[in-house]
């Protein structure tokens, strides 16, 4: 098989994950030193599965998505590790090879749907040019497929919408157009980076339901990036929790919600609104701020904000270790352990703010 043919049609071997990320590191060279935005991330994603990546702003979620896609500037960026998509290592692919994959095999839905579309080009042209470039369709075939795509993402009166410019669409409708473009060529992997940013609650739920339906119908693998654990509940097979550029916990979704081990995961879950909360209930927050990625601490990166912190946490970075099937975490004092409960009580007695804020 030639290199070009291999890129156009990714091989799927039995037992091999569709996407395999190994020790991925993305550093930025700045005037203030090296910024370690992504620092040793590894995971596998099976065909047809949904993986959620959650964490606060600055945790490395978007950098991870863009590193997987290869959508980073070539200047001032250091990228190490491997990202295997089928038989192709995306970290070693040339720009021309990546362009063959983008849209055709791997697509991305960005945070802001309005800026994802060209404001001076009609919606129909943006979709049909995409189809013509990747699938070689003629004008008539591309228009017919574009109409079908708009219908599939729930856009009313698709014939009229093809003639509209992006500014004539609502935010939710723009996002549906972006999703239609992303799935146009039947990609095997879809990355959705905060796909509901700027949308109201009802529209956000519709967009997430749409992604779930399309994922099931087309048997796509999906990486769903979000800052909200509540958003990914029931929508992902597995969850990765990121903090300061590292994976601090990874588990099947049910285990993340019922048997979390990392104190940061526990803190994120406490901040999720619940229907059982009384009106005007103040949600718990995580004390402090994430560390500066240009000057990361020596030990656990969450130590300064952790209610269970002990001297060991400030000097020894905890490795990822197993807690059960496909469940790993990085913490010396995992949530629910006798050692963690003792540490919490001691820290409360000492008046540590993080311990006093813990529920």
To the nearest whole number, what is the mean pLDDT of the chain? 89
302-322 pLDDT, tens digit each: 999 999 999 999 999 999 999
Angle between helices 201-218 and 171-183 (to 10 degrees): 10
**Contacts of residue 57, Cβ cutoff 8 Å, sequence gap at least 6:** 227
77-86 pLDDT, tens digit each: 999 999 999 8
CB 315 within 8 A of CB 299: yes
For the question of whether the overall pTM of this predicted structure is more than 0.75, the answer is yes
> What are the Cα distances from residue 203, in Å, to 54, 149, 192, 196?
20, 19, 16, 8
> Taking 50 as the threshold, does the pLDDT of residue 256 lie above it?
yes
Buried b (16+ CB within 10 A) or exposed e, 288-315: eebbebeebbebbbbbbbbbbbbeebee
Q: Structure tokens of 225? A: 């990036």
Each domain of the chain, given as residue ranges in start order, spans 260-273+297-359
24-48 pLDDT, tens digit each: 999 999 988 899 999 999 999 999 9
> Taking 80 as the threshold, does the pLDDT of residue 132 lie above it?
yes
Is the CA virtual torsion 351, 354, 355, 359 positive or negative? positive
If you ran DSSP here, which 8-state letter would residue 102 be given? B
């Amino acid at each position: 098989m030639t290199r070009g043919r291999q890129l156009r049609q990714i091989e799927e071997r039995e037992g091999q994950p569709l996407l395999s990320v190994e020790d991925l590191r993305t550093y930025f060279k700045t005037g203030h030193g090296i910024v370690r935005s992504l620092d040793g991330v590894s995971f596998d994603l099976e065909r047809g599965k949904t993986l959620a990546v959650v964490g606060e702003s600055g945790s490395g979620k978007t950098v991870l998505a863009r590193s997987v896609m290869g959508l980073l500037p070539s200047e001032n960026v250091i990228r190490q590790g491997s990202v295997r998509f089928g038989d192709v290592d995306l970290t070693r692919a040339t720009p021309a090879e990546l362009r063959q994959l983008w849209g055709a095999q791997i697509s991305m839905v960005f945070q802001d749907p309005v800026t994802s579309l060209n404001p001076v080009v009609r919606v129909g042209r943006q979709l049909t040019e995409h189809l013509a470039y990747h699938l070689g369709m003629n004008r008539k075939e591309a228009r017919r497929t574009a109409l079908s795509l708009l219908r599939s993402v729930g856009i009313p009166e698709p014939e009229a919408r093809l003639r509209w410019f992006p500014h004539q669409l609502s935010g939710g409708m723009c996002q549906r157009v972006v999703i239609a473009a992303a799935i146009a060529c039947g990609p095997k992997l879809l990355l959705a980076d905060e796909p509901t940013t700027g949308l109201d609650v009802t529209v956000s739920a519709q967009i997430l339901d749409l992604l779930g339906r399309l994922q099931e119908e087309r048997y796509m693998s999906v990486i769903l990036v979000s800052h909200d654990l509540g958003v990914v509940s029931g929508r992902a097979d597995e969850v990765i929790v990121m903090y300061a550029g590292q994976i601090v916990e990874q588990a099947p979704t049910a285990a993340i919600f019922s048997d979390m081990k990392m104190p940061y995961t526990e803190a994120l879950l406490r901040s999720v609104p619940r229907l059982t909360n009384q009106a005007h209930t103040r949600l718990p927050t995580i004390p402090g701020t994430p560390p500066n990625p240009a000057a990361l601490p020596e030990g656990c990166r969450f130590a300064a904000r952790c209610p269970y912190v002990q001297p060991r946490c400030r000097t020894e970075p905890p490795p990822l270790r197993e807690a059960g099937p496909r469940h790993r975490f990085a913490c010396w004092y995992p949530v629910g352990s006798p050692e963690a409960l003792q540490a919490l009580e001691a820290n409360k007695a000492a008046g540590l703010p993080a311990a006093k804020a813990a529920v």
